[in-house]
Every structure is written in structure tokens, then in C-alpha cells.
Amino acid sequence: METVEMNSVSLKRPHSEDGVANADEVKRQKISEKSKTENDSGQSTEAVTEQPDKSLLEDTKNEIISNEESEEQEDEELEDSDEDGDPESFADMMKHGLTESDVGITKFVSSHKGFSGILKERYSDFVVHEIGKDGRVSHLDDFTVPVDDEDPSEETFTVLSDEDKQRLEELQLFKNKETSVAIEVVEDTKEKRTVIHQAVKSLFPGLETKTEDRDGKKYIIAYHAAGKKALANPRKHSWPKSRGSYCHFVLYKENKDTMDAINVLSKFLRVKPNIFSYMGTKDKRAITVQEIAVLRITAQRLAHLNKCLMNFKLGNFSYKNHPLKLGELQGNHFTVVLRNITGTDDEVEQAMHSLREIGFINYYGMQRFGTTAVPTYQIGRAILQNNWNEVMDLILKPRPGAEKGYLVKCREEWAKTKDPAAALKKLPVKRCVEGQLLRGLLKYGMKNIISAFGIIPRNNRLMYIHSYQSYVWNNMVSKRIEEYGLRAVPGDLTLKGATAVHIEEGDVDNYTIHDVVMPLPGFDVIYPKHKIGEAYKEMLVADNLDINNMRHKIRDYSLSGAYRRIIIRPQNVNWEVVAYDDPRIPLFTTDLDKLEGKPLPVLPTDGKFRALKMEFSLPPSTYATMAIREVLKMDTSIKNQTQLNTTWLR
């Protein structure tokens, strides 16, 4: 899965290094996590305070939801209402989280001195633009809709009353016992009837219409045309043959991840989410711009959503004959603001020059491994060991760390009773991994954990074993850099096309560290010929796994492996240090700002604070967190940042 997601954290260096920090000085430091719950659309408020802010870690807590969850938007309100606890207790819970060293992230490649900075003080401080397979960066810069004689009139969107729409939606989704819905034609003209027919068919895929006389009045009767399949397969006969079947558009979104956005769009369009396609998932706490394709939904209808959706904008519409596929993109372009930096201009220059010239270690970032005391890689290891009782135990047992209240109660019930039905009753949200596994245990019984686990969506199940692969890779790369430094050595691996080959003694001068790749363990990869090849085997033996037999008796869990560059050098690296006084003002303009004609922010030449604005492009499956870690020389784990920023609360 392509990953650009980043946790919202403050990256601050401990002040004890100078030996002069005291409690009052720490109190005056910028607050790191003044951010709204990610399930709402609010923007972060002012982050400078002289007094401890009780909501500080409450907000952080709302952001740190287990990677094991896979809930849809309609559950968000319920989830938000279940948060409790105070900042101190949350900080204490985060003691049980992971640090970078726990998952093998231990090395840096540059020699510059690190400095402090606040990452994502506002979600608008982090902007991602997708880079398509043709190398073009996606921008929202055009709201116009392609002119098409086949498009329905604007009246189509307003002719139905809210009550009519409610009844039609319930009919469309089979939510009631009605087999049809009758809409009285008040102004009985052919033109009016035509508009109503068009409105029903356009807004409610899967419904057909006909006109009937009842008691001397004309009614439009809506009914199901092709059963439940019609929802996921929009009708073909209403789509012009000359028009491409897919409407491609650029989606600009704020503070929502890609799947949340798709769920919102599908809800408003009254279609299934699976008719949308995209090239990669994008971060939640950010402003992101990416291309989306949707099957047989008109640009006109999509553009109409701009009038009723918050934090989304759709534009740059075009019709094409193909959908989009995951992984087709070339990468992502990032615009990042690090606020309240402490580094001197020289230190910033050294750090950014190093990022541009050397790059950073291509570690898998912290979000790959979860946020509680049960890391996702441990569950992945148990799956690979075929230890299904441990898989069940790791997912369901009580655990220290930041979790939603209802999950805590569910785990306590499970530990007490080992009764899936009783534990499930404690879960108001059933779509989380825990709820899905409990439903599976109810269905298949406690002696068939494999089938019960199989109820969890495939991508979520594979996330665990991919997390284990990432854990091994991180550890092995740290060992490789510790052992051999930043140069290619005999026995390293490099790619010839898609094939990995060993670097031989006589050829080593033809390669640099940027050519070296390392394998994720699997049955279809080769390993380095030097000490690190043996280190892979030793690590897997310690985990009761055989590196020479990575095929699983369940095909889904067989690991073929892959290769990953150990050093990534970002492209298009630019930076600027700016001064500012007000932490609430944006420090650059977004695509939407430009479309709406908002001027560039006016910044003082000698402000109270300094910020580092940086831009860079990264290939897919690369973590921007790790690039920023290299610049600041800081641990990006939530555990570390929470402890740094709550010391003065104690």
C-alpha cells in the first residue's frame, strides 16, 4: 500500500542538553499537539500558551486510534463521544507506546546538528500533491464542467423534495418493505414529468421510473430495475456511448483520509464506494490533492457536491475510458511547514543540503506499527508462525496504551469470560478488527480461529504480516549501515531492471549507496552475501521462522518478499526560512486559496517565531516522516513526543 500518512507530532529536542532549562522556560515552549479531533473538520487553534492546556493531550488522544480499526464515517460521532480521561493519564498511557528504536529505526545518514520544530501545528502546514504516472503533479485549478448535451438540467437537482429523496434513498438501499415510491406530479406537463424521471434516474442509480394515473392524478412511480447489483453497477443505457465511462477529477480535501472521503462522496451520490478508484491513499491530517475516477457519474453531478460538502472540493473534470489503479502514481510532492524552529540559518542550510544531496534512510515509519503496547508486527509474526491462539489473544487481550473506552471494556470482558457474544456487546462500533474477529468467533466457534480471522477484510489481515516484514527490514537496514556505512560493498544487492543481483568485488566502484537495495523477507528474494544475509536468518530463527520456507499453508499469508532502496534522495527539494508572529496564519497559499483569489500572507521581516518551509518529492511507499526526522534528528514516535511535551504538567 502506498503510504504518505504521518502522525501529527511536535518534534522538540530535550532542553536538558544545555543544562540550563527550568520549568518556567519549558512552560513557555510551544505546545505541540493543539489539534482538533481528526473526525471533525475543525482547524487547530492557537498553539502558544503560558499555562498548561487541559485539552492538549485530549486532542492528541483522539488522533491516536489503533491501526487495527477500520470504521466507516457513520460511526465517527459515536466514537468521539466515547473519549474520556485527563492529559496526565493519557501521557502515562503513552509510556507503553513504541519508540523508533523498538522498530529498528536507529540511524541517521547526515552529520549536521539537529534542531527543534513543530510538525503539523495546523493540518494546513502539511500539503500533499499526487504525482501521476505521466510525471504531472495534480493540482486543483479548474472548476469548469465539460459541456455535454446529454447532461440533465440544473432543475434535476432541485425538483425532488427532501421527503421524496429520503423515500427514494430508502427504496434504493432496500431499507423498507416498499417495492416502489410514488411521486405526485403537481404541475402536470410533459416537461415536468421528464425532469422528475431524469432526477430519479440520475440521483438514484438502480431505480427505474414510469408514469401512472391514479384517481385522476399523474404519478411518477420509482421501482427497482435490477435488484441490489444495480447499486454497484450503474445502468449502462443512460450513459452516452460517445463519452468515456469514467469521470476523472481532482479531489482537494482537508483533514480526511482518502477512504473517508470516498465514503462521504458515495453517501451523497447514493452509490457504492467500490465504483471509485484512485492511485494511492493520502494522509488524514493534511491538505491533499489527488486524482480520483468514478464509474458513470457525470461531472455535472460531481461538481454539484461542491455546494454541499465541507472540506472537499472537486474539479479538473474529464471523461476517460479507464479507471485508476493503486500504485500507478510516480509519487507525491510535499509542502511542509515546521514552525517555531530553533536551528540557526546555518544549521537549517546544512540539514536541507544534506537532505538534497545524501537523502535519508528509507525506514518504514512509526504508523506502520500501531500505537499501543501490542505492535502490529507481533500479530503478523504470530500469523506467520501459524500460532492462531496467539493471534486471537494479541488482538483481543487487554493492553496498556491509548485506546478508545469501548475497546478497553470489550477487552476486559474478553479477558474475564472468553465469550465472543459478551465481548461484542461492549462494542458499539462493530467494524473494528476486534468486532470483526469476535463476530467470526461467534460464527465459526473458538476452535476455528483461522476462519474467524478470515472475516476481517483482506487488506487489514495482510497489514499485520506486512508490518512484520517492515520490522525486519528496518532492523536489518540499521545493522547494514552500522556495519558498512554509506558506501556500496561486495555482497550488497542492487537492481538490474526488476531483478536483484549481488555487487561483486570487481564492480563495487561502479555503485553508490543509492544503488543498494535490501529485501523484505519472502520466498522469492535473495539476501546479501555479507554479514547482513546471516543476520536476516538469525532474526527469523529467533522468531521461530524459517527464512528458506516463507510459504504459508494459507496462500494469502505466503510472503513472496520485495526489494526496497535503503537510501532515498528526495527530488525537487526547496526550502525557505520565514518569520511570523501569529501562529494561526497560514504561511503559504493552497490550490483552493489561489482559485478563490486569496493573497499571499504578509509576513514580518523580524517576527517572534521562525518557520522552515520545505518542499520535496518522494516515490510511492516512502514515508515523509522519515525525511523530516533526518532534517531535525528527532524521534518521531508519539510516545517520545508526548513525554517531551507533558514533562511540565507533572
Across-strand partners of 570? none
**Known active-site residue 283:** yes
Residue 186 is given by DSSP the state: S
CB 297 within 8 A of CB 234: yes
Q: What is the b/e burial string over 288-315, where b = at least 16 CB atoms within 10 angstroms of the residue's CB?
A: bbbbbbbbbbbbbbbbbeeeeeebbbbb
Contacts of 125 (CB under 8 A, 6+ apart): 119, 336, 337, 338, 339, 587
Residue type, position 79, single letter: E
Residue 266 and residue 258 in contact, taking contact as beta carbons nearer than 8 Å: no
CA dist., res. 378 & res. 520, Å (int): 16
DSSP state letter for 158? T
CA of 56: how far to CAs of 61, 79, 96, 416, 598, in Å? 9, 19, 19, 34, 31
* CA-based max dimension of the chain: 94
Q: Within its chain, how far is the Cα of 270 from the centroid?
A: 24
* Count helices and strands in the chain by DSSP H and E runs: 21, 19
User: For 163-193, b where at least 16 C-beta lie within 10 A, e where not — what string?
Assistant: ebeebbbebbeeeeeeeebebeeeeeeeebb
- Give the HSE-up count for residue 512: Cα atoms under 13 Å, Cβ half-sphere: 7
Neighbours of 398 (CB within 10 A): 17
**In this structure, what C-alpha cell is assigned to residue 472?**
525486519
Cα–Cα dist 443/441, whole Å: 5
In 204-335, where does DSSP find H-type helix?
229-232, 258-269, 299-304
Strands 609-618 and 571-580 come out as antiparallel
CB 520 within 8 A of CB 469: yes
Is-contact 366 100, C-beta < 8 A? yes
Task: For residues 574 and 352, give the distance between their C-alpha atoms in angstroms, rounded to a whole number.
Answer: 8
Angle between helices 56-63 and 638-646 (to 10 degrees): 170
Q: In whole angstroms, what is the distance from residue 462 CA to residue 470 CA?
A: 12
As a whole number of angstroms, the distance between CA 212 and CA 207 comes to 16
Among 59, 257, 283, 635, which one carries the catalytic annotation? 283
Is the Cβ–Cβ distance between 152 and 199 less than 8 Å?
Answer: yes
Q: How many residues does the chain have?
A: 650
Enumerate the active-site residues: 283
